[in-house]
Amino acid sequence: MTINVLQHQFVPKHSKVNDSDKDKLFALHNIEGKHLPKILINDPAISGLGIKAGDIIKIERTSRTAGTSSYYRLVVEG
């Protein structure tokens, strides 16, 4: 039996950030990819996204008090 962790109610939506959005993100916050928190390339939540090391992942979390918040992670080998 296999379990799809992406269907669990507590796993937020993960998506790959395209190059133009990545450039906008870096310019808006005056950062580089190395300044972002890391996520391992073998993390189950991003396994089906066709990612590679160096990509940026957007995580959208929903909260009853804060609404929807976006977080970004740099994909690294692990």
Where are the domains positioned within the chain? 12-76
More confident residue, 9 or 22: 22
Instruction: Pick 12-76's CATH classification: 3.30.70.1140, 3.10.270.10, 3.60.20.10, 3.90.940.20.
Output: 3.90.940.20
Nearest Cα residue to 15 out of 58, 73, 50, 71: 58
pLDDT tens for 10-57 read: 889 999 999 999 999 999 999 999 999 999 999 999 988 899 999 999
* Structural tokens at position 45: 């939540």
Confidence of residue 66 (pLDDT cuts 50, 70, 90): confident
Type of residue at 44: P
More confident residue, 1 or 72: 72
